[in-house]
Amino acid sequence: MAEQERLGRLSEMLKRRGFLLPAFEIHGGAKGLYDFGPVGGRMRSRINQRWLDHWLRLGNVVELSCPTVTPYAVLEASGHVGEFSDFMTQCLKCEEASRADTLLEGHHPNPDALKKDELQSLLFKIRPACPACGAQEWSDVTAQNLMFNTTIGAGPSGRQGFLRPETAQGMFTSYGALLRHFRDRLPFGAMQVGKGYRNEIAPRQGMIRLREFNMAELEYFIDPEAPLDDDLSSWDAHPMVLIADGKEPTKMTLSDACKQGLIRHTTVAKFMGITWEFLTDVGIDPERLRFRQHEQDEMAHYAMDCWDAEIEGSYGWIECVGIAHRGCYDLESHEKATGRTLRARREFDEPRMTEIDGWTIDGAKAGPAFKALAGMVKTALEGLPKTTSFPLDLELPNGETVLVEEEHVKPNQKTIKETGEWYIPHVIEPAFGIDRIIWHVIDHAYHETEKKGEPYCLMKLQPSVAPVDYAVFPLFEKEGMDDLAWDVHQRLCRAPGVVSMYDGTGSIGRRYARADEIGVPSCITVDHQSVKDGTVTVRDRDTGEQIRMAISDLI
């Protein structure tokens, strides 16, 4: 209850001070869409930048920026067209909407795989009871797609497309360029921060479920046969709360979790470590951070392992990051759909020699004799041992039998040398919900205290993500203090990456309070002495302590 009230006060402040605002409000608002306001906008871009910098440290990761408008074929290949469509039906009595496949569970081995008309006819045949009212009459099945539809181009030549539901697909489809860039050497990664779109049926809980959201994803391509030797020692000092596959939470190091086989791949563990580092770096309380492994039936069918970073805040434990070992699913899907090769080459330590000593066809004779079947004959023949004698009745895979004469064949004797092989890389994907992370950074930074018996609000943001670095105040807007303060402000604004805010209205205490509320780490005050000797006071947000320093030493 108290938690609810705190959430109310926090939301009110975020709106009032311009962190987060409902979008398009003067037109009545739009569900699931938010503005980052004059204060939140800066914070968002800082967190995005921080995220990119953090992963760039890996040294083999590049940043991409792919379109949000995505052709139908791309998302069909990725499985999103199928996966993100729900077939809905409505109870004719109580109008409750249900998923057709859910209603038919138990009446079909895999209703999820059925097409629309198959679901429709099965639904009308089985007539399952409505979970809400028990009636058995259902409307026609309609497709509800969670992706935003759009048309690329105008008129009849327009192609169907979607706004992307994740940034990942653009990185998979750029695989060729990435492989070239990294000179054919794995592992490597591509990442991007950007918008994703999901036409949620019921967006809820403020920033937690949005229709347009900020996401940051890394696709890290690895050789599945490479040794699992990622160095996890830098996190040995930080045991983390892990919930493995439905088990009880335990606190242990990533190294131990790998040794016990809870985390199935050391790169997944390493990314969990980097994720932990990033989240705590931007201000997430490590005590309210845990990793939960997806249970087998919860995981996408192709995924080999998946760990979510969950953060506790005003809405309970919320999944904010997913670290998934996706196997070769994505590249393989795009390969199948396009016929393009999306592979990497692995050289063998020693060339592999294969001795072949058997039979093959003599093309000049066998070709005219078997015509269309010649290819099949060749394959079948090459499978036969050296000891085979001809003529021979050879049974082909299609059931036909052909008579192979001695003149149709010749010995096949050769040595094949292979120096390596092509394989489809596996992908480990950390996917961050930036909005959810920003929400929790704010939630964890928001402190309600008292000052002289009055409620006082302090946003203890990490300086690296605070929306404003410095607030500059003239103690009073006269006697040259205003001009000097404005000069200091200008000087700070000209420094690269520094955000300064000038505030000359209200009492000095009020201005400190306003700065504290949006988490400005340092307040600079220009007073009478400043005008005489060029020094100012610098106040620390969290301690309130002030030191005096020369303006020239500020930056």
CB of 298 to RNA, least distance (A): 5
> What is the token pair recorded at 227?
């040794």
> Degrees (nearest 5) of the Cα angle 312, 315, 317?
35
C-alpha torsion 262→259→431→460, nearest 10:
100
Residue count at the site for RNA (CB under 7 A)? 64
* Residue list 370-429, contact with RNA (CB under 7 A): none
Q: Contact between 508 and RNA (CB under 7 A)?
A: yes
Which of the residues 59 through 88 are near RNA (CB under 7 A)? Answer: 83-84, 86
Is residue 510 within the footprint of RNA (CB under 7 A)?
A: yes
Distance CA 269, CA 291 (A): 11
Indicate whether 542 belongs to the interface with RNA (CB under 7 A): no
94 binds RNA (CB under 7 A): yes
Selected range binding RNA among 93-101, 186-194, 239-247, 269-277, rule: CB under 7 A: 93-101
Nearer to RNA, 243 or 344 (CB): 243
- Integer Cα distance of 43 and 246 in angstroms: 36
Does residue 6 belong to the site contacting RNA (CB under 7 A)?
A: no
Identify the three-state secondary structure at position 504: coil
Q: In what order do the strands lie in the sheet with 159-163?
A: 69-71, 159-163, 149-152
Contact indicator for 371, 384 with CB cutoff of 8 Å: no
Q: By CB under 7 A, is residue 250 in contact with RNA?
A: no
Query: Which listed residue (476, 482, 486, 531) binds RNA by CB under 7 A?
Result: 476
Q: C-beta of 388: minimal distance to RNA in Å?
A: 55
Our separate counts of H helices and E strands in the chain read 17, 28
206 lies in the site for RNA, by CB under 7 A = yes
d(CA 469, CA 498): 6
Residue 57 tokens read as 């440290």
**Residue of 50, 93, 99, 491 that binds RNA (CB under 7 A):** 99
Site map 288..327 versus RNA, x via CB under 7 A: ------x---x--------------------x--x-----
CA-atom Rg of the chain in angstroms? 32
CB of 531 to RNA, least distance (A): 11
Q: Name the minimum Å distance from CB 63 to RNA.
A: 23
Of the candidate spans 153-161, 220-228, 350-358, 512-520, the one that interacts with RNA by CB under 7 A turns out to be 512-520
3-state secondary structure 124-175: HHHCCCCCCCCCCCECCCEEEECCCEEEECCHHHCEEEEECCCCHHHHHHCH
Q: In what order do the strands lie in the sheet with 240-243?
A: 61-63, 188-197, 212-222, 426-433, 316-325, 305-313, 289-293, 240-243, 250-252
- Interface with RNA (CB under 7 A): 12, 15-16, 22, 28-32, 83-84, 86, 90, 94-99, 102, 131-132, 146, 198, 200-206, 209, 294, 298, 319, 322, 451-452, 454, 456-457, 475-476, 478, 505-510, 512-514, 516-517, 525, 527-528, 536-537, 539, 544-546
